[in-house]
Homo-oligomer: A and B are copies of this chain.
Amino acid sequence: VVSPVVVVDCPRVPSVLVEELGRLGVATVHEAAGRSGLCGIGLHPIKPGLAAAGTAITALCWPGDNLAVHVAVEQCRQGDVLVIATTSKCSDGYVGELLATSLRARGVVALVTETGVRDVAELRRSGLPVWSRAISAQGTTKAQIGGVNVPVALGGTVVHPGDAIVADDDGVVCVPRARAAGVAEAGAQREAKERASRARLAGGELGLDFYGLRGALDDLGVRYVQYSDWLEEEP
């Protein structure tokens, strides 16, 4: 049987890029990355308005067992985001108040987990932003480990250690380390463009004209029909 691995000292996206990505937010970063990296739907913040950005440390756990999380904590540094995935789906409460205390002590800026969390009232008060699939008081054992800082799948997206993770009310997005600079730059350009668009749309200009879509409607053979004529035509 293949033995589990803990990868140490992975390189990380530089903090200046992480900050810029965080400032841009999930939706803009996702667009700037060519619509890649979004970690699915269903990773909910534990309260509205949370936002965070950092570098990924990954913990791959067995169902119902958080030993890999304890191992991962030691690998975390200031500015990291702990990312928890499991070898098979599990909604148990992998992290509660005590682990959150440890994470804050290591300078971790956010927790993103495919599992559940517990002590959620305390987590909300704690200042550690958390995105999770579920809330569950069900605790875990500490007997098995899948790996730490191995690539994991987070909501259908592959996350490598050291990648940038951005999370807010729109969900969680992962930017691979090699693309962080390019995405940050593309994001800033997109931001500027959207600012201009917003003004014109607020002034009443239609998206049909603004984006030049009327030709596409003709190509698709779209017909405009008066309601009364349409009633005749349909049953």
Residues on A lying within 8 angstroms of B by beta carbon are 1-11, 26-27, 30-36, 38, 40-41, 47-49, 51, 62-65, 67, 70-71, 73-74, 85-93, 96-99, 101-102, 104-106, 114, 116, 118-121, 124, 134-139, 141-147, 149, 151-154, 156-158, 160-163, 168-171, 173, 176-179, 182-183, 186, 194, 197-198, 201-204, 206-208, 211, 213, 216-217, 220-227, 230, 233-235
Contacts and interface: CB of A to CB of B under 8 A. Distances in A.
A233 B48 CA distance: 37
A223 B4 contact: yes
A202 to B, nearest CB: 5
Given A47-B48, A144-B220, A38 B74 contact: no
Chain copies in the assembled complex: 6
A73 B1 contact: no
A135 B41 contact: yes
A48 B156 CA distance: 27
A-B complex: 5 closest residue pairs judged by Cβ atoms: A153-B153, A3-B221, A63-B64, A70-B207, A64-B64
Given A27-B96, A27-B118, A71-B208, A40 B89 contact: yes
Nearest to A49: B121
